[in-house]
Each structure stands twice: as structure tokens, then as C-alpha cells.
Amino acid sequence: MTLMKSWVESANDPDGWFPLNNLPYGVFDDGKGPRTGAALGDKVLDLAALEEQGTVPAAGFRGGSLNAFMAAGPGSWERVRNALTRMLADGAEERDRVAGALHHQSDVTMLLPFVVSEFTDFYAGRHHASNVGTMFRGPENALPPNWLHMPIGYNGRASSVVISGTDVRRPWGQLKGPNDEVPRFAPSRRFDIELEMGAIVGQPSDGPLGVAEADANIFGYVLLNDWSARDIQAWEYQPLGPFQAKATATSISPWVVTKAALEPFRCNPPRREKELLPHLRDVGPMLHDIELEVTLEPEGGTEETIVRTNSRELYYSSAQQLAHHATSGCPMRVGDLIGTGTISGPERGSRGSLLELSWGGKEPLELAQGGARSFIEDGDRLTLRGFAQGDGYRIGFGDCTGKVLPALEDPYS
Amino acid sequence: MTLMKSWVESANDPDGWFPLNNLPYGVFDDGKGPRTGAALGDKVLDLAALEEQGTVPAAGFRGGSLNAFMAAGPGSWERVRNALTRMLADGAEERDRVAGALHHQSDVTMLLPFVVSEFTDFYAGRHHASNVGTMFRGPENALPPNWLHMPIGYNGRASSVVISGTDVRRPWGQLKGPNDEVPRFAPSRRFDIELEMGAIVGQPSDGPLGVAEADANIFGYVLLNDWSARDIQAWEYQPLGPFQAKATATSISPWVVTKAALEPFRCNPPRREKELLPHLRDVGPMLHDIELEVTLEPEGGTEETIVRTNSRELYYSSAQQLAHHATSGCPMRVGDLIGTGTISGPERGSRGSLLELSWGGKEPLELAQGGARSFIEDGDRLTLRGFAQGDGYRIGFGDCTGKVLPALEDPYS
């Protein structure tokens, strides 16, 4: 596929994130209330206005979330995408009617694009699981015995999901180092990022789901940063898993890139070291070739890239994660957010967390601008970016960014 | 406190669950749509009807959940309780106006009383944690090192919470015994109950909470059965905790017993073996003296009691659990459900799960009617009950019951 030309000129930049091929959905506010928009070049197309005009099929665009549109189902997703593609294409007759519904992205505020029903975070990146396992349990026990047989995940906290741009306050928590006699309650000193993708469930289910069915129920994808307090986690996680270490915030990018836009970028999973059980077996190319990066900008410093990797480094696809999630009969709902887990590549510069980049703090990451990082320092801004590279166009996700504020002086004052 | 007499005669039975002292809230439907009611004797009082009449302060009783009433806050909770207590008391002037809003409980269907925002399950019973720890890791490692320093919990799955009376289908899952070379996908053979209480968050928070504040934010309590597939759990839970083992269903009792009704039954926690950090320290009697039991009724058999215990066996109160939950800044919302974890007493007959009662299947529980149980068999009905014993009255919770149906023959057909 090549660039689809639009009469919105800024959408035709081959290095831009939002060509007509993309058309991601988000929720914006220009002061007149939150509603659904689609990104195109440097513009937002007001879908609520088009719905009111009758220019696009009605799909709940006037609510403040994408949930109604997602619930409307794949037929509706396709009709709306086809209608938008037609009316925004170079030479479209509808140009005059539609032009009035375009706003500059810089004139609007982006809001959380959907009501997060529940948030689940997986651990589906093999390099990440191996790196963390090696640090915690030694190289011979790096991967837990179950890891190659199913996507391992845990339930996270939906209330803590925030839109890109939200500041994140360093949490307090119970900490106990291996040599401390008793724990203490203090601000986390090992606060970290996790570079992830998030899949959004667009259709409900109420029983086990095959992998192809699970894929069909996914509406789209966002970038996701699962902020993590490694020192809180180390003391709390046995035997029931991470809890407060992961509950401060999880940031997501404002635009939901649809599964449809990512179709040309599907790719196969890695070779399966252990044969998967039939219900989890690959039924086609379910991963995506998406270039990912993380930048760090110290307070008063400059932004520099600290990670480059690709989402094809995942071992299990989001579809496999969702299929596993439903095995027990667990009801899945519109708006469920499913994080992939940290996406790390094989080389040091492709590791998606500071824990891995600094090898648990033992090998601090040197910054090009001077200074070094073992974990996040107060005032640091961390930004995730990602795009799929097509032939003369890119499918971009928009920034997923957050700045870390100092911990509260006394959380109980 | 003694029995408060009501003009609703059935509320004056000293062994009844719903005297005027109780007034728990639930959501019922008599065919005219779901709305809020209060239980009194064998009746349900239609609060939506009273709200329409202007007989009780308006508090969102016409919606199909308690969330609006909970969100209205402690002032509203108190005004409504005071108004109901006055108008239902023996000799009340309002009797004629109110009598028309009473339905027989047997004429209505009870529905899930609130929209469960998120569900968290703790592990706050010491006997349970020690029993399970002994079985899994030996007596010397029974309690994890963190256990005496903070309430350990994990995020569960809100979408799987069901109202008492809902059948529960035995789940399939990935299973691997210690001697199996590879895992298989099969129906769980070690499906179990967990006898718990659930606290319902009635006020939102957006940062750390002290224990007294946390207690103030709790609206009320239900009985909770966290159905658990022990064989799925054993294979999946390392390193991120229980996931599909706990996602099939969690049943709750239909009536939310308010914190106000339980005030006379507050009791102190056990002696603290390790001093708690200041933010988790006890600030008053935060546990409750509530008698609990579980019965088992085999298909075609008779109901018999298999567990008797008391909620004062908990080590951490729901207020302490909620305070810990908020330490990281985790936003808590109206409708969050917080399970205590299994409540076991020190003796065999007081253990709140079959895993403990049968010591992992090694000592099957003999039934009085003949037969034995290591874990739940298809067709078994399990019922939790609980009440606080006052002077001439009881504060009861209503049944929390569910029957286990056989696993699907082929979950992917």
C-alpha cells in the first residue's frame, strides 16, 4: 500500500504520523465539550459535527468516549472508516461540507479516549522477561517455567490510567532492601518506565475465545507507559504479584490507531521454542512491525533518545493475550485495556525500561548531554513514540509523555 | 444496643436477619425495572417510590445501582438511615404512606447491588495465609516475609463479580502437575471456594489515605465467595500472581450491610506480632464480630455446614486494606470492591476454603450425609451466610450462594 492522498495537505507529508491511511480516533475538547475526533495531518476532524450533519454513519461520537463507537461493532468501524476515507481523499466532493469540521490539533485538548473498563498488563516480551528474570533469579532461571506456554499477565488498576501529558508524582511505598531489618515507608527511589503497546477490546465476550476471534474483538492500539516503582515491587510482589508498584499511573497516547490502519504491518511471531497448546496457537501474522522509541528530557536539559526497539520483538500477540485472558470464562468488556508488557530488543539500546538499561542500577545509562540515569529523577520527562513505516507514509501514534514530579513531602499531612 | 421495634412485624424476630437495626441496601426488580430497596424482615422497601413521594431525601434510588447514593456521601447516608429508622419504627406516623412501598422479598429478584468499579482481593487472614503457605512452601516459610508488615493483595476482575444465585461454570485452564512434562488445557479439577467479606468503597480518593479516613470512605460490607481454581493458580501464579484462576466468578450477597449497622460489632484486631508502620497503625477497633458459615449441598443431597468461623479472625481490617491500596496514590472510586481474603479460624472446622479443609486434597472432608470432598464436585451448591449477634437481634447478610455446573464439553466449539 502507498500513501493515500488527501485534500488536507498536511496529511500528505511522508514523514507525518497521521496520513489518510491512519485515521486514528481520539477524544478532544476545544472548549465546547468532549467529543470524538479523527486525526489527519495537523488537524482533528470533529466526528460529532459530521454525525450531526449526517455526513458519517451515527456511532455515538457526541459522547465523551469511544466506548459507544467501539460497542457498535466491526461493521460500524468499517462503514465509518470507509466514509471518512472517501470524503477526505484528494478530489472528494464532500470537501466543502467537511472542511468546517476540521480544527487545528494545537487548538484542542486531548482527553482519555475511552473509559477504561479494566486494565490488564501482560509480560509478553521475551527479552524483557529474560532480562528481569536474570537480574532477580539468575540466568539459569531467567524465564519462569510457564512463560513459553502461555502469556503471563496480571490485573492492573484502570483508575490509574491517564492521558499522555499528565504529570506523574513519584509514589511513596513500603520499601525493604535485602539488608534492611525492617521495612520503611518512603518515596520510591527506583521509579521506572515500561515501554509497551496497549490493545483495546472493542467487543464484549462471555466465555473462551479463539485467537482469531480475539483478534476480531480488538478495536485498536495505543502506546502505553506502565510507570513502575521497582523497589516497592521487589518487597510486595511475593506471592500475589505487583500491586502498589504499578498503581500510581499508566500513561496512554491520545490516539487509538485502529487495527484496520495496522493491517499492512502485520508480521509473524518468533519461532515457538515450545509448541503452544491448540487454543493459543498462531493462526496468522498477529504481531505488528512498529518502530518504537523512548526519549528522556531532564529538567532544563534537552530531549534525547534512550531506547529504540520494535513491537515485533513481542513473543505473544495481543490477540493471544486476549484469548488467554478469556480461557477461564472471564467476561471481557468494551474498553478493556490490555498492555503487552515491556518491549525490549536483544541489544542494550533496545531495552524498554531503565531497570534493564541500567541493569538494576549497576550500569547507569550515560546520557549524551552528560549525567547518567539508573532510574528516573525528579523533573525528568519521558516520552514514548511509535510508527509503522509504509511505502511513502507512516502510521504514527502520537506522543505518550509524562513528567515525573517530586514525591509529596508528607503524604498524610 | 437492643432490638429497635418496627411496625413491620417480621422485622422483630430476634433470629431474623433484617431488623430495623440493620436496613441493608440492595437493588431489586419486581418486573417494573431495577431500583434501590432496603430489607426489613421479609419485606423490601422500595426507596425509589419513597424518593418520588418525597418521603426520603433524594439520593439516586431510581437508578439500577447504589453508586449514586454512595457517591452522595456520608451526610446523605446518615440522613436516609435516620429517616428510614424513624418512619419504620413502631408507632411511626408515616406508616400508612410507607406501607404501600413494601414488597415481599419472595416477589422480587435481587440484582447486583452496585456497579463494581474495580475489584481487589486481599489475603488478610493469618490462619489462611499460614495454612496455604505451609502447604506450598513448608511450615518454616508459611508466612511470606512481607505479610506481617502490610496487607498483601492483588487486583481481581470486576467483570467476573456476580450476584448470589448465579450458577458458576467450572472453568477450563492450563494445568501442569509437578510430574507432568508439559501442560495441558483441561477443566479445573481443584475448583474451590474462598469465604470472604467484601468492603465497598463509597467515596472516591486520589492520594494516600490514613486508616481512619479509609474507614470513613467505606459504605458497607457484603459476603463474598472468590471461586478459585487451585490447579490453574499453581501453574500460572509465578511471578505475577493469580490471574485466570480467579477470573471465572466472584459471588457477592445481594444486601449491602452498612458500616452504620455494624458499629456495635466493632472489635479490636489481634496482637500485632510486628509493629506496623505509622500509616497502617490501628486507630481504633476496625474489625467486626460477625459469625460466618459455609454450607455444601450436593446435587440431590441435603445442605450441611462445612465451615464455621468469624470475621474477627482477620489480621488486617478493610480500612487498613484500603489505606494500603492508596499508598502509591492509586485513585479509588465509588463502587470499588475490596475482598478481605479467605477468613479461616485456628481449627480445622473453621477453615474458609476446601484447599485448607482437605489439606490440599490429602485429607478429604467427610460429609455427614456420606461421601467426601477434596474440592467442589459438579452440581454442588455452596452457600455463605453471616450475621452479627446483638442483644435480642441479629444483623444478617443474606445468602451468598452458587451452584457449580459441569465444565463446557469443548470451550472452542
| Same domain assignment for residues A214 and A76 | no
Residue window 184-213, chain B: list those with CB within 8 Å of chain A: 184-185, 207-208, 210
The complex's ipTM? 0.97
Boundary (domain end) residue, out of B111, B127, B154: B111
Mutate which: A123, A231, A243, A280, vs B, most B CBs within 10 A? A243
Boundary (domain end) residue, out of A94, A111, A128: A111
Look-up: residue for cell 515525573? A404
Residues A68 and A61: their CA atoms lie apart, in Å, by 8
Here the cell at position A150 is 502461555
pLDDT given for residue A1 in this prediction: 85
Mean pLDDT (chain A, rounded): 97
What is the nearest CA distance from A384 to chain B, expressed in angstroms? Answer: 22
User: For residue B133, how far is the Cα from the chain centroid?
Assistant: 23
pLDDT given for residue A136 in this prediction: 83
Here the cell at position A253 is 497516547
Q: Which domain holds residue B170?
A: 119-405
> How many folded domains does chain B comprise?
2
- Report the DSSP beta bridge partners of residue B198: B222, B339
- pLDDT beyond 90 at B413: no
Residue B1 resides in a domain: no
pLDDT in tens, B180-219: 999 999 999 999 999 999 999 999 999 999 999 999 999 9
Residue B235 resides in a domain: yes
Quick count: other Cβ atoms within 10 Å of Cβ A285? 15
CATH number of B125's domain? 3.90.850.10
Residue A1 resides in a domain: no
Chain B CA closest to residue A239: B241
| Same domain assignment for residues B99 and B199 | no
Give the residue among A173, A220, A172, A223 at the shortest CA–CA distance from A193. Answer: A223
Q: From residue B192, how far is each of A296, B209, B232 by CA, in Å?
A: 48, 34, 11
| Same domain assignment for residues A165 and A189 | yes
| Same domain assignment for residues A32 and A55 | yes
| Same domain assignment for residues B93 and B178 | no
- Report the DSSP beta bridge partners of residue A226: A250
Look-up: residue for cell 468501524? A77
Question: How does residue A275 score in pLDDT terms, banded at 50, 70 and 90?
Answer: very high
Residue A412 resides in a domain: no
Given CB atoms, is A245 within the 8 Å cutoff of chain B? yes
Region of B317 on the Ramachandran plot (φ > 0 left; ψ -120 to 50 alpha; else beta): beta
Among partner residues A149, A327, A408, which is closest to B244 by beta-carbon distance? A327
Give the residue among A334, A250, A402 at the shortest CA–CA distance from B331. Answer: A250
Residue B413 resides in a domain: no
Quick count: other Cβ atoms within 10 Å of Cβ B242? 25
Question: How does residue B166 score in pLDDT terms, banded at 50, 70 and 90?
Answer: very high
| Same domain assignment for residues B107 and B256 | no
Q: Sign of the C-alpha dihedral, residues A19, A23, A29, A30?
A: positive
Residue window 332-391, chain A: list those with CB within 8 Å of chain B: 332-333, 336
Residue A274 resides in a domain: yes
pLDDT given for residue A227 in this prediction: 98
Residue A139 resides in a domain: yes
Residues B312 and B269: their CA atoms lie apart, in Å, by 7
Beta strands in B86-158 (DSSP E): 102-104, 109-111, 119-122, 153-155
**Taking CB atoms and an 8 Å cutoff, what residues of chain A touch B327?**
171-174, 185, 244, 411
- pLDDT beyond 90 at A217: yes
pLDDT given for residue A413 in this prediction: 84
| Same domain assignment for residues B103 and B133 | no
| Same domain assignment for residues A381 and A249 | yes
Residue A91 CB partners (closer than 8 Å, separation 6+): A7
pTM (predicted TM-score): 0.98
- N- to C-terminal Cα distance for chain A? 58
- pLDDT beyond 90 at B334: yes
Residues A316 and A148: their CA atoms lie apart, in Å, by 9
3-state secondary structure of B387: strand
Residue B237 CB partners (closer than 8 Å, separation 6+): A239, A240, A241, B243, B245
pLDDT given for residue B137 in this prediction: 85
Boundary (domain end) residue, out of B53, B83, B111: B111
Share of chain B above pLDDT 90, in %: 98
3-state secondary structure of B174: strand
CATH number of B19's domain? 2.30.30.230
Do residues B248 and B168 touch, judged by C-beta distance below 8 A? yes
Residue B283 resides in a domain: yes
* Burial class of residue A227, CB neighbours in 10 A (0-12, 13-18, 19+): buried
**Taking CB atoms and an 8 Å cutoff, what residues of chain A touch B153?**
240, 243
Here the cell at position A256 is 487509538
| Same domain assignment for residues B311 and B364 | yes
| Same domain assignment for residues A17 and A155 | no
Provide φ and ψ at B287, rounded to 5°: -90, 175
| Same domain assignment for residues A99 and A155 | no
| Same domain assignment for residues A160 and A249 | yes
Q: Say yes or no for a CB contact (<8 Å) between B411 and A279.
A: yes
Give the residue among A193, A137, A187, A167 at the shortest CA–CA distance from A365. Answer: A193
- pLDDT beyond 90 at B136: no
User: For residue A27, how far is the Cα from the chain centroid?
Assistant: 16
**Taking CB atoms and an 8 Å cutoff, what residues of chain B touch A170?**
none
3-state secondary structure of B404: strand
